[in-house]
Structures are given as C-alpha cells and as structure tokens.
Amino acid sequence: MSHRQAVWVTVAAALMWSMAGVVTRQLEAARSFEVTFWRSAFSATALLLLLGGLRGPAELRRILLQGGRALWLSGLCWAVMFTAFMLALTLTSVANVLVTLALGPLLTALGARVVLGHRLAARTWGAIALAGVGIAWMYGHALQAGDARQLLGTAVALCVPVAVAVNWTLLQHLKAQDSPPDMLGAVLIGSLLSAAVMAPLALPFAASWHDLSLLALLGSVQLALPCLMAVAAARVLSGPEMALLGLLEVVLGVLWAWLGANEAPSAAVLGGGVLVLFALAGNEMLALRRRR
C-alpha cells in the first residue's frame, strides 16, 4: 500500500465510523444493552469471516490459542471500546460522545509517558491541558443543568479513550519486541466479549427486523471492516497522520447526526469540542511537521 492509498483507506474508515450516531437514531425498538449486543454480535460474525479469509481458519485458531495475555488484554480493551461507545450513544448526544472520543491520542501519549517512559514535548502537555479545559466545559454544563443522564453518558464515553490509551500503549510496547505477536485477533476477541457480557442484559429482545438490518450494518460496515482497514493503514502512516485523519470521524459524525437526525449540538458541546479538536489537531500537525 502506498502512502496515498493508506491516506484514502483511513479516510474511508473514518467515514464508516462516523455513521454510528445517525444510524443508531433510526432504530425503532432496540435500546441500550440490546443495541450494544447486536452490534457486537454482528461485528464478531463479520470479523470471523474477514479474518478467516485473510489468515485462514487454521492460522486464526493458532493466533487465538497462542496469543497469550497481551492478545486478551488488547481484546478486553476493544470490548470496553465497543460496549462503552454504544451505551454512551443511548445516554447522551452524538456530539458529546464523539468529542469525548477525540481525547484518545492525547491520553495515549500520557499513558506512554507514565508506562513506557516516553518523553512528551511541551506542545503535547499544552494540548492535554487545553483538551482538559474543553471536557471540563462540557461536564460543567451538564452539572449546571442538573442533567444526570447527559453527565452519565459523557462519563461512559470517557471509558473509550481510556481503553484506547491502554490498548495503544500495549501495542507500542509489543512493537518494540523482536517478534511482535499478531494482534488482529484481539478485535475479534473484543467483539465476542462485548456480545457475551451484553447478552443477558439485553433480554428480552425487542429489536424489529428493521432494527436488526441497521445493527447488522453497524456491526459489519461501521465497525468490523473499518477497524481492519485502519490496522492495515497504520503500517504505512505515522501516528500524527492517523490521529489527524481520525478527526474526520468526529466532524462527520456530528454533521450526519445534525442533518440526518436533527440532533444539533449544544453551545457547551460546540465550545468544548472546538477546544479538544484544536488541541489535538495543533499537536499532531506540529508533530507531523517536525517528523518531516
């Protein structure tokens, strides 16, 4: 894959990721735990087919059985991401969730500093502080308004970038080894764990056939396929490039929810979101310029 091809693959993945909010708002009967269960179950089915085709059934079985603790820890992180993201969407606005998710690269940098001893540039510390102000603005507005549901949704959404930080810090540690393990199977483990935990909570099922078709779309096209595309593109693109292109998910996701579900972001979310996106984009652009 050339650099240009990797860029377009990442853009396509961000476009697929961004459809989660607006599609979720079109569901008729499925709610909360059931939404999360079906999305993870359909994702696991799609990943079994995709990874089976890419690696072969025997090799996929070997990866899952011999991956060790690192593979299962990464799988647990993916499970937290998949579960918390969908639960947060059922509790708060799409914009609230996506802005909170944008903290992932900054928390990853902080995790690499604490766990791996990586030195952080002054610009990254500044970006972390500025993004913290943006999130505090959003939290403060929810507290002031006394909206417990919005506050809970933002707190649940915050689990996603924390899990992202743990996962990517682990992958950075493994990458430094002479023979790093194949971690693609961790995405499948995450989907299976998420579906298994949500299954008893989702009963009794209420999803209509209309809902199931949309959830199948979310599990396969919005989740499984773009995750594999991003892993492939990450072998070519640098971290700052991946982070910058990943911001498209936030911008497009808010736009789709606004246009397709009439869900206009509040002033607090817009203000806090601008600070978070400005902090991340500025830090990654400076890092990319220095790298070049």
pLDDT at 110: 83
pLDDT over 80 at 11, yes or no: yes
Distance between CA atoms of 292 and 287, rounded to whole angstroms?
Answer: 9
Residue 177, pLDDT above cutoff 70: no
Q: Is 131 helix (H, G, I), strand (E, B) or coil?
A: helix
**Mean pLDDT value of segment 30-57:** 88
What value does the mean pLDDT take over residues 239-263?
A: 82
- Nearest CA to 26 among 211, 164, 231? 211
List the one residue out of 9, 62, 18 whose CA is nearest residue 241: 9
Token representation of residue 261: 């579900």
Spatial separation of the C-alpha atoms in residues 74 and 125, rounded to whole Å? 26
What's the whole-number mean pLDDT along residues 232-252? 77
- Predicted confidence band of residue 239 (pLDDT cuts 50, 70, 90): low
Burial class (CB in 10 A: 0-12, 13-18, 19+), 12: middle
Going 273 to 277 to 278 to 283, the CA torsion angle's sign is positive
Comparison of pLDDT for 104 and 21, the residue scoring more: 21
Evaluate whether 70 touches 170 at the Cβ level (below 8 Å): yes
Structure confidence at residue 54 (pLDDT)? 76
Q: How confident is the model at residue 42 (pLDDT cuts 50, 70, 90)?
A: very high
pTM of the model: 0.85
User: What is the number of residues in the chain?
Assistant: 292
State the pLDDT confidence band at 176, using cuts at 50, 70 and 90.
low
- Is pLDDT larger for residue 247 or for residue 91? 91
Among 58-62, 82-86, 153-157, 163-167, the minimum mean pLDDT is found in 58-62
